[in-house]
């Protein structure tokens, strides 16, 4: 995917649904989510949520080694409260581990509702701010998720 659009190889669409889901999630985000959040969250959503819920015939989560590795990252964060992580991936997986697969769906609904109410300007090429992301992700989780994000070494307090 680039500014000219999404490019999917038609010859593999029937066998590479994960790639299709990944690229379509980018299209949903396109210019609306902070860059630091986009690629990692698209990857996490594809592997930890979409592929098992939207594509029939894939191995169930308990038989999928990539899914299992993802969940171990999230559990590692939850089980080791003082550990700091170099990558954002464990942070985003931990949200699923702690608040369930629906946390991202609730987040997207909260952002959409905030846009409808005029609380945020959810427009192309003007991503929501870090503070807005944390606010609506916290709303989706039912508690402040900022401490989880602070476990990521590159997290910065910024608007």
Q: How do residues 3-18 score in pLDDT, each as one tens digit?
A: 556 666 666 555 566 6
- Say which DSSP state 47 is in: I
Confirm if 88 and 117 have CB atoms less than 8 A apart: no
Which residues in the chain show pLDDT less than 50? Answer: 1
Residue 4 maps to a domain: no
Query: Is residue 155 assigned to a domain?
Result: no
Residue 24 is assigned to a structural domain of this protein: yes
Tokens of 151: 């476990």
Structural domains of the chain, count:
1
The answer to whether residue 2 sits within a structural domain is no
Residue 120: inside a domain, yes or no?
Answer: yes
Does the pTM surpass 0.85? The reply is no
Q: Is 156 within a domain?
A: no
> What residue numbers bound the domain in which 134 lies?
10-149
Are 122 and 99 a contacting pair, CB within 8 Å?
Answer: no
């Amino acid at each position: 995917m680039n500014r000219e659009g999404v490019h999917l190889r038609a010859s593999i669409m029937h066998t590479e649904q994960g790639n299709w889901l990944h690229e379509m999630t980018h299209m949903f985000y396109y210019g609306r989510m902070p860059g630091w959040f986009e690629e990692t969250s698209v990857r996490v959503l594809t592997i930890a949520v979409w592929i098992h819920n939207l594509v029939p015939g894939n191995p169930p989560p308990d038989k999928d080694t990539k899914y299992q590795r993802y969940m171990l990252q999230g559990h590692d964060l939850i089980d080791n409260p003082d550990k700091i992580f170099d990558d954002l991936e464990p942070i985003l997986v931990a949200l699923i581990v702690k608040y369930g697969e629906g946390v991202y769906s609730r987040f997207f609904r909260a952002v959409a509702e905030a846009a409808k109410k005029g609380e945020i300007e959810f427009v192309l090429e003007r991503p929501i701010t870090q503070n807005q992301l944390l606010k609506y992700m916290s709303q989706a989780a039912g508690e402040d998720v900022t401490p989880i994000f602070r476990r990521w070494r590159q997290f910065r307090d910024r608007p």
